[in-house]
Structure 1
Amino acid sequence: MCTITDIVICGFNGSILKYCGEKMDYEYILTRLSKMLSPKRLQHSIGVSKTAEEMAERFGGDKVKAGLAGLLHDAAREVPVADLLPRAQAFGIVVSDIEKAEPILLHAPISAKLAESKFNIHDAEILQAIFLHTTGGAHMSLLDKIIYLADVIEPGRNFGGLEEIRAMAHSDLDKALLLALDQSIAYILEEGGLIHPATIEARNDLLIKQRTPILHTT
């Protein structure tokens, strides 16, 4: 299987990139993203892509899907905040009251829509992983977990508690994800922000799965 850095040119029709299984024009994606993102944000996306590939290899995931989802996860991150809500509504995204109050959260679902509409990505797993990379959610797939964590631990990140998450991500994906969710929730609480229900669902789902074997033996 090729990796994101080994991907060969599949060709494109006009401005629409053709997605042919595991083949994708990586340089074409970078060229388009460079017009949508600042150099710093583009470097972050490359870091997430490479980190996601490494994690996919470690935990038995699809490296190509992980690389693509990581590269495109922030496609809408630099859409002006004032434009996020109307953009989401134009895409037909269902917007919650929390997202109306914190429209920056909408960059994730809008990024998934841009991956589909601008880069012709129709793989449901890739799109869902992009959609969930900010809030998480219940019953996250392997790819969902990888992209969420890769966004947190990519080499350009630097914050307190990060090394513990990085270390755990080398051995236990779920425990690393739980640490990342806990840190995110603690930060939001400290800032007096709104916690998205999907984040709570993601955390609770992990805890329930951890405790289920114990419950079955009591």
Structure 2
Amino acid sequence: MNREQMIASVKSQMPERRWLHTEGVMKTAVLLAERYGEDPHKAELAAILHDVAKYWQIAKMEQIIREQKLNGTLLLYDKELWHSEVGAWVAEQEYGVTDIQVLDAIRYHTSGRIGMTKLDKIVCLADYIEPGRDFPGVESIRELSGQSLEQALIAGFDSTISFLVAKGKRIFPLTVDARNDLIEQQKTGG
């Protein structure tokens, strides 16, 4: 499947406004990849596919998570997280993506993880700061993204965690772990 076919297929699975978001993530991911020395083609591929399962029925995502023995812990948390894990599976099974870095960047774009790769960081951050995003603090995260992937991601995770706390929602432990790991990397220079 070539790039244009993939784009057409992904676009057909979501509302127009979500496709506009995906285009923003694609452009932002490529810019961040070029700025921070990552492969822009991998960044764009992960960005194209990052929300491929976002608008699938909840029951279908749950079935895939259970039947394919994906990360079942997700089922205990907000359904907004499920599309990342299912999206990585779809990218591999239906779109033929075999690059584990690309699949992981899709898988962890909503939660982060301990030991995030540069590609993970780029796709996660691009999802936060693409030009269509408009939430309190997004401009400062965009500014930080020009200086440090890690500092910008920490600010993004802080924003997400604060939002979830304010809404009385549970926080997926991997997000807290990812944030803490990034802070530790900043301390140790790693």
Number of the residue aligned with 1:22: none
Paired residue for 1:7?
Answer: none
Question: Any gaps of 5 or more consecutive residues in structure 1?
Answer: 1-16, 18-24, 214-218
Following TM superposition, by how much is the alpha carbon of 1:92 offset from its aligned partner in structure 2, in angstroms? 2.0
> Are 2:84 and 2:109, in contact at CA under 8 Å, matched by a contact in 1?
yes
2:72 to 64, 76, 95: 95
Question: AA paired with 2:66?
Answer: Q
> Residue 53 in 1 paired to residue 16 in 2?
no
Amino-acid identity (%): 36
CA deviations over 1:22-45 (Å, ceiling 9, x no partner): xxx221111111221111111211
Aligned to 1:34: 11
Range 178-187 or range 86-95, more displaced: 86-95
SS of alignment partner, residue 136 of structure 2: coil
Partner of 1:173: 149
Name 1:3's counterpart in structure 2: none
User: In the alignment, is the contact (CA less than 8 A) between 1:84 and 1:104 conserved in 2?
Assistant: no
Amino acid at match of 1:36: Q
Count of aligned residue pairs for this structure pair? 189
Partner Cα separation in structure 2 for residue 61 and residue 187 of structure 1: 30
Q: 8 Å contact 1:85–1:103 — kept in the other structure?
A: no
Which segments of structure 1 move beyond 3 Å, counting only runs of 4 or more? none
Match of 2:177 in 1: 201
Q: Is the 8 A contact 1:76 1:107 kept in 2?
A: yes
Structure with greater contact order relative to length (CA < 8 Å, sep ≥ 6): 2
Q: Which structure's CA Rg is the greater one?
A: 1
In 1, are the aligned partners of 2:150 and 2:186 still within 8 Å (CA)?
Answer: no
Give, as a single letter, the amino acid of the residue that structure 2 aligns with 1:138.
I
Equivalent position SS for 1:177: helix
Q: Distance in 1 between matches of 2:121 and 2:33?
A: 10
1:114 maps to 2:115: no
- Give the aligned CA root-mean-square deviation in angstroms: 1.2
Check the 8 A contact 1:137/1:199 in 2, yes or no: yes
Q: What's the TM-score once normalised by structure 1's chain length?
A: 0.83
Q: TM-score, normalised by structure 2?
A: 0.95
